Amino acid sequence: MRLDPFLTQRLVKSLLWCLTGLTLFFLIFIIAFISVKGLPQVSFNFLFHDIEDMGRAGGIFPTIVSTIYLTMVALLIASPLGVGTAIYLTEYTREGWITKLIRFGAECLAGVPSIILGLFGFVLFVIKLNFGWSMLSGGLSLAIMVLPTIIRTSEEALKTVPQEYQDVCFSLGLSKWHTITRVVLPCALPGIMTGIVLSIGRAIGETAVVLFTAGASLRTPTSRFDSGRSMAVHFYILAREGLSMPNAYGTAAILIISILLINITAYTIMQRFLQKYS
Amino acid sequence: MNPVKIQVRDLTFYYGQHLAIDSLHLDVRQGEILGLMGPAKSGKTTFLRVLNRMCDLIPNSRVQGNVFLDNKDILALEYDVDNLRRRVGMVFAKPVPLPRSIYENLAFGPRLQGKEINSGILDDLVEKSLKEAQLWEEVKDRLHESALKLSGGQQQRLCLARTLAMQPEVILLDEPTSGLDPISTARIEETLTQLKKDFTIILVSNNTKQIARCSDKVAFLLMSRLIEYGITPEVFMVPKNKQTDDYISGRFG
């Protein structure tokens, strides 16, 4: 039996629309659920006050500081490493078994479960290098976690820069370094930034890695060797040990809203950038 | 007679196993326009790419022979390639403006040459180059707008101006008027005849009439080999070779 093409078209369209709608529904449902449960807890005191009574009372200020601290350390380490690797892979080598090996390695790294990464960070940074449970150990471990994302997205971004731009630069007698820093990188920047923003989102929300490497101290970290709990870890401990569900939801709300805000800001900045350069 | 600027001796070029230029022998004098013509895949563009060592970027390629620029072999290992490319500028067949303003397209090359350059001199250089490329009048009021907004013919002249801003000695033009309307083409040709006072120009074109109009000397390439080389009017009036005659009169191509 043959279906009427017009009918098929409408059927497929509504099916695809439903699938998209369902995806969106989950996203909106999660955000709404967390907001409704968590936002009533959020107040000035909640944001800027120390944790009291193991989290049953007080605010979450130390966890916000820890989260920012850990994410910054992770990005400061992973961005140059990742972007550098991507530049090397796309600009300084020809396709061969070495590039394939590096790419395969990065993909394997992306596939390592975060709990294993946490354990690895614990063994290497906390014990072996004696950084202890600290912002540094946590940041380094998070850096390893987001590195594959940054490499992958930067590489894709660099590949979209037309080869002609480089030919033009070389024909003007520009060195390879100038060509890359002045022309290729600016053109690839929106794509690279997307990767970095994605990584921020992952690093902020990561629990297992941080729990093993940064510890769960209640104090506000003031140096890179201080321990501290991130928002995600705080939420995990509050919920798991049944200390205070309202405060857990409050933390979750802040967490999810900050990730949303970061994504929106980055998107806006990127749009501005794109308009300026094209 | 002007001194010899470029001497090509026994130049042979391979892409992998494919022979792209077969023992080419030819001189270009200072202040001269050499027209290069020939059917597709005859080695014209490859030859241009050898002259500023852009051929280095082609994987699996091999070059033999010598090319002397002011009596120095540019194919020698120790030759400073970046410096060579500043002296031998190139305009590609397809205009590729960088995604920046018109001004920046011209200024960024000179600015990165290493030596300090003050903005007054840079402004003058941009203006002079745009005038030489006959683009100044059309863009003088919007130098800081994106170069991507220009029309095809304007983009091609912008690319020419960008090369001129590097103050090269030799300019290589790879079909600078392909895809342009007759008016833009005429403007570019006019520009070329103006420019040869100060530059040595090598012009590749599929348009034999253009070669006849613009060039002083002409070289005809066919299947990687130089078939005929001589003073333009002579070659077009009385070609020595039957294949040249056929090509010029459009009997194959």
In a domain, B232, yes or no: yes
Check residue B252 and give its pLDDT: 65
Here the CATH number for the domain that contains residue A113 is 1.10.3720.10
Task: Using pLDDT thresholds of 50, 70 and 90, give the confidence band for residue A28.
Answer: very high
In a domain, A66, yes or no: yes
Q: Which backbone phi and psi does B199 adopt, to 5 degrees?
A: -130, 160
Which of B83, B96, B148 has the CB atom closest to A173's CB atom? B83
State the residue range of the domain holding A63: 44-152+191-277
Q: What is the ipTM of this complex?
A: 0.84
In a domain, B37, yes or no: yes
Determine whether the interchain pair B52/A168 forms a contact, defined as Cβ–Cβ distance below 8 Å.
no
Which of B99, B109, B148 has the CB atom closest to A172's CB atom? B109
Q: For residues B173 and B162, give the distance between their C-alpha atoms in angstroms, rounded to a whole number.
A: 13
What is the chain B residue with the closest CA to A181?
Answer: B112
The CA-based dihedral angle spanning residues A253, A258, A264, A269, taken in that order and rounded to the nearest 10 degrees: 170
What is the chain B residue with the closest CA to A174?
Answer: B82
How would you classify residue A54: left for phi > 0, otherwise alpha for psi between -120 and 50, otherwise beta?
left
How would you classify residue B117: left for phi > 0, otherwise alpha for psi between -120 and 50, otherwise beta?
beta
Query: Which of B112, B160, B167 is the mutation pick for testing A, counting most A CBs within 10 A?
Result: B112
What is the chain B residue with the closest CA to A163?
Answer: B96
Q: Structurally, how many domains does chain A consist of?
A: 1
pLDDT digits (tens, 9 = 90+) for B181-225: 888 788 888 888 888 888 899 999 888 888 888 889 999 988 888
Cα–Cα nearest to B28, from B44, B14, B11, B7: B7
Determine whether the interchain pair B96/A164 forms a contact, defined as Cβ–Cβ distance below 8 Å.
yes
Task: Using pLDDT thresholds of 50, 70 and 90, give the confidence band for residue A120.
Answer: very high
pLDDT digits (tens, 9 = 90+) for A44-53: 888 888 888 8
How many angstroms separate the Cα of A234 from the Cα of each of A56, A80, A254?
Answer: 11, 29, 12
DSSP class of residue B168 equals -
Q: Is B90 helix (H, G, I), strand (E, B) or coil?
A: strand
Please check whether residue A121 is in contact with residue A135, taking contact to mean a CB–CB distance below 8 angstroms.
no
Q: What six digits make up the tokens of A229? A: 């709990």
In a domain, A17, yes or no: no
How many angstroms separate the Cα of B215 from the Cα of each of B173, B184, B201, B219?
Answer: 12, 18, 9, 10
Determine whether the interchain pair A174/B109 forms a contact, defined as Cβ–Cβ distance below 8 Å.
yes
Check residue B253 and give its pLDDT: 47
Which ranges of B88-175 does DSSP label H, i.e. alpha helix? Answer: 102-111, 119-132, 136-139, 152-165
Which of B92, B112, B159 has the CB atom closest to A174's CB atom? B112
Here the CATH number for the domain that contains residue B166 is 3.40.50.300
pLDDT tens string, chain B, 253 residues long: the values are: 788 888 889 888 988 888 888 888 888 888 899 999 888 888 888 889 999 888 888 888 888 888 888 888 888 888 888 888 888 999 988 888 988 889 988 888 888 876 667 778 888 888 988 988 888 888 888 888 888 888 888 888 899 899 988 888 899 998 888 777 888 788 888 888 888 888 899 999 888 888 888 889 999 988 888 888 888 888 888 888 888 888 888 776 4
What is the chain A residue with the closest CA to B52?
Answer: A171
pLDDT digits (tens, 9 = 90+) for B110-133: 888 766 677 788 888 889 889 888
Task: Using pLDDT thresholds of 50, 70 and 90, give the confidence band for residue A136.
Answer: very high
Cα–Cα nearest to A227, from A72, A62, A74, A116: A62
In a domain, B25, yes or no: yes
Check residue B222 and give its pLDDT: 87
Q: For residues A9 and A157, give the distance between their C-alpha atoms in angstroms, rounded to a whole number.
A: 35
Compute the nearest-CA separation of B216 from chain A (Å).
25
Q: Which backbone phi and psi does B173 adopt, to 5 degrees?
A: -120, 120
Check residue B176 and give its pLDDT: 84
Q: For residues B102 and B142, give the distance between their C-alpha atoms in angstroms, rounded to a whole number.
A: 8
Query: Which of A172, A176, A180, A276 is the mutation pick for testing B, counting most B CBs within 10 A?
Result: A172
In a domain, B253, yes or no: no
In a domain, A53, yes or no: yes
Please check whether residue A173 is in contact with residue B109, taking contact to mean a CB–CB distance below 8 angstroms.
yes
**3-state secondary structure labels for all residues of B49-72:** HHHCCHHHHCCCEEEEEEEEECCE
The B-side interface with A (CB below 8 A) comprises 52, 54, 57, 59, 82-87, 89-90, 92, 94, 96, 98-100, 108-109, 112-113, 146, 148, 159, 162-163, 166
Q: For residues A238 and A247, give the distance between their C-alpha atoms in angstroms, rounded to a whole number.
A: 8
State the residue range of the domain holding B213: 4-248
Compute the nearest-CA separation of A30 from chain B (Å).
41
Determine whether the interchain pair B163/A172 forms a contact, defined as Cβ–Cβ distance below 8 Å.
yes
Check residue B139 and give its pLDDT: 86
